[in-house]
Amino acid sequence: MNESTNFINWCILFECDSGIIDEEHKQLFKIANEFYNNIKEKKGDNAIYQTLNELTKYAQDHFSHEENILKDTDFPTSELENHKQIHANLILEIFSIHNTQMSNQLGEVKRFLTNWLIMHILIEDRKYLKYLNTP
């Protein structure tokens, strides 16, 4: 997939200054773009559901990994619990996309991906930056 067809492109604003978290976020972008393009290009239910399932699985693994990294920092426990709840809600939203996709509402998928990937990384994940960069 060439970058000009991506719905969302990675840029420096999304960096969390953590190599592994940034790499996982980039992979989420890649899968999300593939999912979005499969819907936009009407690739068929099989391709669409395959990438949606891949996105769901990767997101669950990433969230778990990110939470484990944060447990090993000075990130406040209450903030971590809140972050975990946000992750759980995002997974529920991914599952609701299955129903949205059934009616092929590209606008709803676009809204979800924007809120989830872009806003979550820019707002929620930024809260732990100072805890990852402590000596």
Confidence of residue 4 (pLDDT cuts 50, 70, 90): very low
Task: Go through 70-107 and write b for each residue having 16 or more CB atoms within 10 A of its CB, e for each that does not.
Answer: beeeebeeeebeebeebbeebeeebeebeebbeeeeee
Query: Residue 44 to residues 31, 35, 57: CA-CA distances in angstroms?
Result: 16, 11, 20
φ and ψ of 134, to 5 deg:
-80, 140
Question: How far is C-alpha 3 from the geometric centre of its chain's CA atoms?
Answer: 18
Q: How many whole angstroms separate alpha carbon 31 and alpha carbon 17?
A: 21
Confidence of residue 88 (pLDDT cuts 50, 70, 90): very high
Q: How many whole angstroms separate alpha carbon 34 and alpha carbon 25?
A: 14
Q: What is the pTM of this model?
A: 0.78
Please name each of the domains of the chain with its CATH number.
Answer: 18-132 (1.20.120.50)
pLDDT tens string 47-79: 888 998 899 899 999 999 999 999 999 999 999
- Determine contact, residues 132/22, Cβ cutoff 8 Å: no
